[in-house]
Amino acid sequence: MNNDQITSFYNNNGFGRIDLANGRDIRSLPSFSQFGLMTLRIFNQAGEPESDVIFQWDN
């Protein structure tokens, strides 16, 4: 999924809102858990993760 698809899914399924303004972007992080969760986080323009938006699902 691209950023637009992820944002649309997240915003339309009751998870909250993703705001990609001001140079924010969505990045996929590798998962090290035994459950194989995919993790997406929002990073700000400085490249720092924003802890309030974490999105996970089983892959």
pTM of this prediction exceeds 0.95: no
User: Residue 1: what pLDDT?
Assistant: 67
Contact 14, 34 (CB under 8 A): no
> 57 pairs with which residues across the strands?
38
List, in order, residues 6 or more apart from 10 with CB less than 8 Å away. 16, 17, 18, 55
Q: What pLDDT, in 10s, does the model give residues 7-55?
A: 888 788 877 778 788 889 888 776 666 666 677 888 999 999 888 767 7
